Structure 1
Amino acid sequence: MLRSSAALLLRRCCLHSFAPPAPALHSSSKDAYFAAVSHIAGVVRRDFYLERTLGRMRLPPPTSDLVLRVLREAAHSAPLSALRFFAWARNSSSYRPSGPEFDALILPLARHRHWSQMWKLAEDMRSLSLPLLPSTFSAVIEAYGDASHVDLAVDVFNRLPKFDCPQTTAVYNALLSALCRVGNFHGAYALIRRMARKQVLPDRQTFSILVNAWCAAGKLREAQDFLEEMNRRGFKPPVRGRDILIDGLVDAGYLESAKSMVLRMTKEGVLPDITTFNSLLQSLCDSGETDFCVGLLQEASDMGLCPDISTYKVLIPAVSKSGKIEKAFKLFYSAVDDGNKPFPSLYATIIKALCKAGRFCDAFSFFNDMKGKGHPPNRPVFTMLVKLCVRGGKFVEAANYLVEMTEMGMVPMSQSFDMVVDGLKHCGKHELAMRMEQMEVSLRSY
């Protein structure tokens, strides 16, 4: 039993020890070179006896390019094995590591939370007088933040001057994101004040991180105050930061604050994102402020805002429902002039408003215009028109629309037939009522 176990162990060792030969590194073919890099990276990722296998592959002395490419392939999934390969390469008398190789290892080690190995590499870089890149340590700080180790992220930030690594805007943003992720807004605001003292200019990402975090936490007033303070300090908040805040104000029901922010933006010659603009219009229309919305759209359009079909989908039904039919027509034809193809529901809202106002001739004309422009009505539009005709005493017209529905291959609802038949009988159109009943029976018999 003991002998068989020893034999099995010896066999496993042999299998791990003898790797297939790597493609020639000295080949002039780029394909052969990259194949060799891929082969070595595979050995680094999978071989338990890594150093011994690399020694038996009879590789030429490693170069910075080769080591960097292998690390980039292997370190993402196997950072500790990649670190062993890096140590093996550094044992070669002809190889002198450079900054990119260290950078290729530091971030994967941080993401896999191998903190001690990461700091040892940083110390090695400093001993070799190699510069540490702010982008690398920004990613390290983000990795600490993702792991909810905000205290360690702060420690990294504070130790950067020791490594002669500048605390750039990207580094501040990384720490800011880590603080906001755990809801430490007091620390985040203190960091912003430090940026101002150190004269590090915030960028779009700075504003987006803070405003997004405050809005997600429901701290809309803080977000608004922050943007206003940055504006007073001479830092122009980016449009995206304001869009995020407007979305948050709308979602929370602070429509007056959202309105004032949009108006302030337009006065400054800045336009919100069209999605944000449409969201605000929808909320304002739901609260009955259609006149304000129409005026805001006109003002924004004069400044260069290009409304999309969703803008008109919000405004036209709201304006039609409020009885402002002429404004609805104006918006409708503006949508057409902008190159949008109206869909049946946009026609339906205006038709409904016309019928409710007793303007049936205009409604019928607009309905015919809809069909003439190549927008065939669907079943809901027909059903609505039949119902409105019945309510307005236009029973013959309602019967005609039921016939038109069947000619277009649509089967009207039973309730539609019942309303039309009852109305025709009530006004003395018994023969037409009987024909409608027969048509329903023939349709239901199929």
Structure 2
Amino acid sequence: MIKILGKMRQFGAVWALLEEIRNENPHFITAELFVVLIRRFASSRMVKKAIEVFDEMPKYGCPQDEAVFGALLDALCKNGDVKEAALVFEEMKVRFKPTLKIFTSLLYGWCKEGKILEAKHVLIQMKEAGFEPDIVVYNNLLSGYVLGNKMGDAFYLLKEMRRKGIDPNACSYTIVIQGLCKADRMVEAMRVFDEMEKNGCQGDVLAYTTLISGFCKWGKLERAYELLDRMKTEGLVPNSLTYLHIMVAHEKKEELEKCLELIEEMRKIGCVPDAGIYNVVIRLACKLEEVKEAARVWDEMERSGFSPGVDSFIVMIHGFIAQGCLVEACEHFKEMVGRGLFCVPQYGVLKDLLNSLLRAEKLEMAKDVWSCIVSKGCELNVSAWTIWIHALFSKGQVKEACSYCMEMMDADLMPQPDTFAKLMKGLRKLYNRQIAAEITEKVRKMAADREITFKMYKRRGERDLKEKVKEKTDGRKRRARRRRWGSSRSRSGI
């Protein structure tokens, strides 16, 4: 139960449950429970709370020891809080004897951050404490060098490992290969791979996948296929990530048939295509205006038991919009909303859909889409309302735009100055001063409640109501100036 509540971040309920256990069944409280809590707080980046859990252990009759202390430092380091972990270590290393695991955790944390100097300092402390670096420590250092793009140091470390009698394993070589592939040094990457196999260390799926990814990015698809065949010959089964890199390369070349052939090949060897694979095919099919093929792959994905994610829906909706299939686009958008996948980052697809519907004079369909969002209880901010109001205004639906603006303000959301200015301009053309005055009064009141100035709104909006009168005055002044200039020119000509 504590694991479940911790995963749901219901930390208040966790503490209440611990109190109940302490009062009724204190023998159930173990160090393992506190380790679970420490890891949950650390993964939520709540460093002080994680340390507080460790400090509270004696209160619940559970002694603190090196194992729990090591778990605390490990959790902090793995979740990006190595600085705090280092401070805790310095404060408590007198109470708890440092272990190899503790030093390894700290070194991993610094290497993950790319802080090689700090990692080397931990290495010195480790040796002073009487611990010799093992393969895990060296692999962490290799990761740090690769992250900092210090490939020369990485190669030197490989030599030092051999000199000290520690043979690099598949993970060691793969880390170096990843760094070389990232830097587009594919010739050197293949040389390291060949050296790995020459030294009796067989390449694994990760090593092959890394090389295939590098050749695909380099535009050498034939080399990628050679490696794919080679790993099959050695009895290794490519995974979906291996095929994904090749598919993305085919996507760049707009080779849809090749992607479909790869999906069939995956099925033959028992490698199940995942959502990422299907997304590539759907995206490419939509790009090539093969919407029917995209819909077929979509249905196949759902039959395979994969639930389409946000990316899949956005790709599909954009594909339908591009082909003018607005009914299908609306259906997929409403399905996305119904599954609870619509949020702020998807406002772009909302804008495209609404504008496309209004351009096609499908006002009722656009209203239906908006009603779906509101009825499903989606959290709408000012940006979402602005998209809808501006879309209506741009298609001449000024009264509709004003109506939704009033609805937005009823939801205690204040329109932006440019929205206010647009509506005032539209209402001036319609000679509808009553609605303009009502909106202005509401905006003025909301500005006062929020203690912000109304000047920006007044400059950009109210002036539009008086523009007609100003035009007449300005017109008279311009004519007068022209007469004066004309008379002066005629006198100078004379």
TM-score by length of 2: 0.58
2:473 is matched with: 417
2:208 is matched with: 137
Contact in 2 for aligned 1:160/1:166 (Cα 8 Å): yes
Q: CA deviation at 1:120?
A: 1.1
State whether structure 2 residue 417 is matched by structure 1 residue 344.
yes
State whether structure 2 residue 461 is matched by structure 1 residue 381.
yes
Q: CA deviation at 1:352?
A: 4.8
Q: CA deviation at 1:149?
A: 0.8
Paired residue type of 1:366? I
Contact in 2 for aligned 1:278/1:310 (Cα 8 Å): no
Larger CA Rg, structure 1 vs 2: 1
Contact in 2 for aligned 1:139/1:174 (Cα 8 Å): no
Distance 1:72 1:344, change over 3 A: closer
| Aligned pairs (5 A) from 1:76-155 | 77=149, 79=151, 82-83=154-155, 85-87=157-159, 89-92=161-164, 94-110=165-181, 111-113=184-186, 114-124=188-198, 127-128=200-201, 132=204, 134-155=205-226
2:94 is matched with: none
Contact in 1 for aligned 2:154/2:176 (Cα 8 Å): yes
1:201 is matched with: 272
Q: Structure 2 CA distance, aligned partners of 1:62 and 1:307?
A: 54
Q: Structure 2 CA distance, aligned partners of 1:278 and 1:323?
A: 16
Identical pairs, percent: 16
Distance 1:223 1:201, change over 3 A: same
2:58 is matched with: none
Indicate the larger mover: 281-290 or 212-221.
212-221
Determine which of 363, 369, 373 is the counterpart of 1:296.
Answer: 369
2:237 is matched with: 166
Q: Structure 2 CA distance, aligned partners of 1:277 and 1:176?
A: 29
2:3 is matched with: none
Determine which of 217, 232, 236 is the counterpart of 2:307.
Answer: 236
Q: CA deviation at 1:361?
A: 3.3
2:67 is matched with: none
Q: Structure 2 CA distance, aligned partners of 1:154 and 1:305?
A: 46
1:366 is matched with: 439
Contact in 1 for aligned 2:197/2:203 (Cα 8 Å): no
Contact in 1 for aligned 2:275/2:306 (Cα 8 Å): no
Q: CA deviation at 1:178?
A: 2.6
Determine which of 352, 360, 364 is the counterpart of 1:279.
Answer: 352
Distance 1:269 1:124, change over 3 A: same
Q: Structure 1 CA distance, aligned partners of 2:220 and 2:247?
A: 13
| Aligned pairs (5 A) from 1:199-278 | 199-216=270-287, 219-250=290-321, 254-263=325-334, 265=336, 271=342, 273-278=346-351
Structure 1 gap segments, 5+ residues each:
1-27, 42-59, 391-397, 399-413, 423-446
Distance 1:141 1:226, change over 3 A: same
Instruction: Give deviations 1:275-307, integer Å, cap 9, x for gaps.
Output: 312221122223332222112111232223333
Instruction: Give deviations 1:392-424, integer Å, cap 9, x for gaps.
Output: xxxxxx5xxxxxxxxxxxxxxx736336999xx
Q: CA deviation at 1:356?
A: 4.7
Q: CA deviation at 1:245?
A: 2.9
Paired residue type of 1:86? L
Structure 2 gap segments, 5+ residues each:
1-99, 111-115, 124-130, 448-453, 479-494
Q: CA deviation at 1:147?
A: 0.5
Distance 1:90 1:217, change over 3 A: farther
Paired residue type of 2:376? M
2:379 is matched with: 306
Q: Structure 2 CA distance, aligned partners of 1:66 and 1:164?
A: 30
Contact in 2 for aligned 1:316/1:349 (Cα 8 Å): no
Q: Structure 1 CA distance, aligned partners of 2:440 and 2:170?
A: 72
Instruction: Give deviations 1:214-252, integer Å, cap 9, x for gaps.
Output: 445555554343223323444332221120232344356
Distance 1:261 1:67, change over 3 A: closer
Instruction: Give deviations 1:302-333, integer Å, cap 9, x for gaps.
Output: 223333323322332454665573x4454223
Q: CA deviation at 1:139?
A: 2.5
Instruction: Give deviations 1:311-365, integer Å, cap 9, x for gaps.
Output: 322332454665573x445422332344422123433444455555554334334
Determine which of 248, 260, 282 is the counterpart of 1:189.
Answer: 260
TM-score by length of 1: 0.64
Instruction: Give deviations 1:154-208, integer Å, cap 9, x for gaps.
Output: 2222322344543222222222223323333222111122333444333332233
1:22 is matched with: none
